[in-house]
Amino acid sequence: MSNYLNEIAGNEKVKLVLTSILRSKNIPHAFLFSGNEGLGKDNAAISFAKELNLIDSYDEIKNSKLIQSINNLSEPYIKYIFPLPRGKNETEQNGPLEKLAPDEIEIVNSEFQIKSKNPYYKIRIPKANQIKVNSIRDIKKFLTLNYDDINYRIILISEAHLMNEESQNALLKNLEEPPNRVVFILTTSAPEKLRETIKSRCWNIIFQPIPEQELKRILTEKFNIQEESANDVIPFSDGSIQTAISLIESNLFELLEKVIRILRYSFGKKFNSAFTEFEEIISEPDQQKFRLIIRLLLTWFNDLQRYRYNTNSKLYFARHLETIQKFDTKFPEANIQSVISKLDNISNSTKNNININVAVSNIISQISLVTT
């Protein structure tokens, strides 16, 4: 067996499970790679696809071309399915790209090319918030072609939770009658949004946060991020590549200052001022920055816990240590664990369709209650 599974970031247990499956040569027809966003699940699927196609294959020239094709996400080795915008007057009979405008197709192609060069990259296409049923039905065309010289063809569905009910129904038909030597790999950060009938047909493999040193290597090597910037964001990233990238793009230190202002206004019951700090964030269609703010608020309260109980742990808000010291002196009996739990619940709820304004009001209210 080759060593392409070593390309998986961290996640030693995942590597062990996939290695055992490969050695057994008893390959499940469908996998569900689940875990938080930004843990390298797509990359792991690509690495696994390489190993699958190298089973009992000893032709070095052929193998070299095969690996290059898989790296490029090229058919017939891999059919890569991802969220796309809906075209004007598009119907279910149209192909996935058929009704898109030329500029939209250009963006799709550009993002796909970046992804093919960097498997950790998250494709970002405006208004692409759903995996269309057209894309899932297009699998049928892929399967009708016969390639006896290929060990395994892979259907990789990225962000599988963005399939709507119709798309999931269409996929289920393929999973119920799995073709020979075709492996489905669904990657998702929200498996709860998938039908149980789909999940029950998949071998579920759960991914964990990427260790800090490995995350730093990916940020510097794959995204050309300066080492100093990587060091700044990694402590706040929870082992997620996407969180780290978002923190860099959003200017981490500006976000930290915003978090401190939200805390001060909320503690002081200045609700309108606290809400104003959120306004710029909640006006954005992408909720990523909103989730980052909640994560940073949670980090501040966790820092307070560490400071209060003198755990000698590193404080992430070390640059704002005075805010932690002043709060602990003024409110030594404040129930911090309660607000941490409430904020964590709000953070988890952002994966669903929620009213952001209500969520912000709830956040501010919960923080203000700490000093009551």
pLDDT in tens, 203-220: 999 999 999 999 999 999
Share of the chain above pLDDT 70, in %: 97
- Please tell me the predicted confidence (pLDDT) of residue 205: 97
CATH code 1.20.1050.10 for 4-208: no
Work out the number of other CB atoms within 10 angstroms of the CB of residue 62.
12
| pLDDT tens digits, one per residue of 78-135 | 999 999 999 888 887 888 898 899 999 999 999 999 999 999 999 999 999 899 999 9
Domain parsing of the chain, residue ranges: 4-208, 250-369
Q: What percent of the chain has pLDDT over 90?
A: 61
Q: What is the mean pLDDT of residues 149-164?
A: 92
When pLDDT is cut at 50, 70 and 90, the band that residue 279 belongs to is confident
For range 250-275, the mean pLDDT: 92
The domain made up of 250-369 has a fold known as: Zinc Finger, Delta Prime; domain 3 (1.20.272)
Helix 288-308 × helix 356-369 angle, to 10°: 10
